[in-house]
Amino acid sequence: MSHSKDRPSYLAHHFSDPAQQSDSAKLGMWIFILTEILLFGGLFVAYSIFRAWNPDMFYNAHKFLDVKMGGINTVVLITSSVTMALSIRSMQLGRKKQTIGFLVATLLFAAVFLVIKYLEYSHKFHLGQLPGKFYTFTGVKGNNPHIFFSIYFVMTGLHGVHVIAGMTVIVMMLVRTMRNRFSSEYYTPLEMTGLYWHLVDLIWIYLFPLLYLIG
Amino acid sequence: MIESTMINRNSHHHIAPLWLYLAIGGALLVLTAVTITVSYIDLGGWNIVVALVIASIKGSLVAMFFMHLYYDKKIYTIVIVMGLLFLSIFISLTMFDTGRRGDIYEIKSEPIKPEADFYKELPPADSLDQTGHSEH
């Protein structure tokens, strides 16, 4: 049996070694990611049904989404994923200052994403392109155009909530990094935060073409 | 690249080289430009297929390299692929129903609230056939 002398401080008592602890965290995180994909999966099914029923209305309504703004947001989110991955790499190499820099950069890109999203939303609010019974816009041809905007707001809104949650966790990781809680040996929470942030990017990769680029 | 084979022996952490992350990021940006460009070309029903194929390539790159599935134990890949499998069953069975129900009885896309103000400046709803396609 190993005794406390051999055990690093970050190793919880119910794990036999750091590798087992890290593997358990990762398995748990991947199962959580799976539940997140299934959560969005229900919305993708709703999208598929309503688009299959109203293809022309979907095409006409999607013209009111700004491809330029959505495209910029895609670039912003991909870049934030790169900086997130690099922050973990920096910690693997024991470069604390670099890690902090990349985490701050990730937060800034996330904030830019939310600002652009806010501009898009406020424009639609202004035009009356609101979900469900609040829809008043008159320019979309086809039956039930409010359904497209309901789907748009629920899917991008839930994604936006995930961006905010991701930013919250990144701030927590930033504080922990500054307090020297991580090293090149132990950075599992940072790695799990990275997985979550990449999931946010992953969902946007599907949302962008499905909502903004209906051919 | 010396870094590409760097493995921390104590913790078995794999450290991917810097160029890999930048290359994957670059590939994702290029694919974004491709998917935007292709969306302006009329390929009929193939537009959605091309968009989803490109999105899936991008998603795989993110999962394999940013999320480290390529380097990690295969159990994580199995977990997520099983989930995606069930999601695809969910979507495809729903689409069989949605797509073929018209074979049994006539389905007509009708406005939920025909008297809604936002229809007033538009052509009457009965000029649309059951799929919502305009007849003229």
Among B58, B23, B33, CA closest to A204: B58
Tens of pLDDT, residue by residue over A82-140, are 999 999 999 999 999 999 999 999 999 999 999 999 999 999 999 999 998 889 898 88
Q: Which two tokens stand for residue A13?
A: 């008592």
CA pair distance B119, A139, nearest whole angstrom: 9
Quote the minimal CA–CA distance from A175 to chain B in Å: 23
Beta bridge partners of B128: B134
Task: Tell me the residues of chain B between 40 and 69 that have a Cβ less than 8 Å away from chain A.
Answer: 41-43, 47-48, 50-52, 54-55, 58-59, 62-63, 65-67
Residue A171: which domain range? 19-212
Candidate from A56, A71, A138 with C-beta closest to B133: A56
Q: Indicate the pLDDT class of residue B14, thresholds 50, 70 and 90.
A: confident
Q: Which two tokens stand for residue A28?
A: 């748990």
- Let me know: does A81 contact B128? Beta carbons within 8 Å: no
Q: Which of A20, A32, A34 to mutate to test the interface with B (most CBs of B within 10 A)?
A: A34
CB contact under 8 A, B67 and A195: yes
Low-confidence winner among A79-88, A122-131, A150-159, B122-131 (lowest mean pLDDT) = B122-131
Q: Which of B10, B67, B101, B109 to mutate to test the interface with A (most CBs of A within 10 A)?
A: B67
Candidate from A33, A144, A194 with C-beta closest to B112: A144
In a domain, A2, yes or no: no
Beta bridge partners of B13: B8
- Let me know: does A211 contact A65? Beta carbons within 8 Å: yes
CB contact under 8 A, B36 and A75: no
Any A CB within 8 A of B124 CB: no
Among A142, A117, A7, CA closest to A65: A117
Q: What's the ipTM?
A: 0.92
In a domain, A4, yes or no: no
- Let me know: does A185 contact B11? Beta carbons within 8 Å: yes
Any A CB within 8 A of B89 CB: no
Q: Which two tokens stand for residue A139?
A: 């320019």
Structural domains of chain A, count = 1
Angle CA B68–B73–B77, to nearest 5: 70
State the pLDDT at residue B123: 55
Chain B residue whose CA is closest to A88: B15
Cα distance between the two ends of chain B = 62
Question: Position of tokens 């999607």?
Answer: A62
Residue B7: which domain range? 1-71
In a domain, A57, yes or no: yes
DSSP assignment of A88-136:
HHHHHTT-HHHHHHHHHHHHHHHHHHHHHHHHHHHHHHHHT--SGGG--
In a domain, B134, yes or no: no
CA pair distance A41, A128, nearest whole angstrom: 28
Q: A96 or B123, which is more confident?
A: A96
CB contact under 8 A, B52 and A138: no
Task: Please give the helix or strand (H or E) that residue B15 lies within, else none.
Answer: none
In a domain, B125, yes or no: no
Q: What is the DSSP letter of B64?
A: I
Structural domains of chain B, count = 1
Torsion of CA A16, A93, B4, A171, to 10 degrees: 90
CA pair distance B55, A211, nearest whole angstrom: 13
Candidate from B10, B67, B91 with C-beta closest to A48: B91
What is the rounded average pLDDT of the residues A150-159? 97
Q: What is the DSSP letter of B62?
A: I
CB contact under 8 A, B98 and A84: no
Residue B130 has pLDDT above 80, yes or no: no
In a domain, A103, yes or no: yes
Residue B3 has pLDDT above 70, yes or no: no
Candidate from B11, B22, B42 with C-beta closest to A215: B42
CA pair distance B7, B5, nearest whole angstrom: 6
Q: Please report residues of B whose CB lies closer than 8 A to that of A141.
A: 122-123, 134
Q: Please report residues of A whose CB lies closer than 8 A to that of B24.
A: 82
What is the rounded average pLDDT of the residues B71-83? 95
- Let me know: does A103 contact A197? Beta carbons within 8 Å: no
- Burial class from Cβ neighbours inside 10 Å (0-12, 13-18, 19+) for residue B97 reads exposed
CA pair distance A182, A194, nearest whole angstrom: 14
Low-confidence winner among A38-42, B5-9, B58-62 (lowest mean pLDDT) = B5-9
Helix, strand, coil % in chain B, rounded to nearest 5? 60, 5, 35
State the pLDDT at residue B118: 80
CATH at residue A119: 1.20.120.80
CA pair distance A192, A212, nearest whole angstrom: 30
What is the rounded average pLDDT of the residues A36-63? 94
In a domain, A53, yes or no: yes
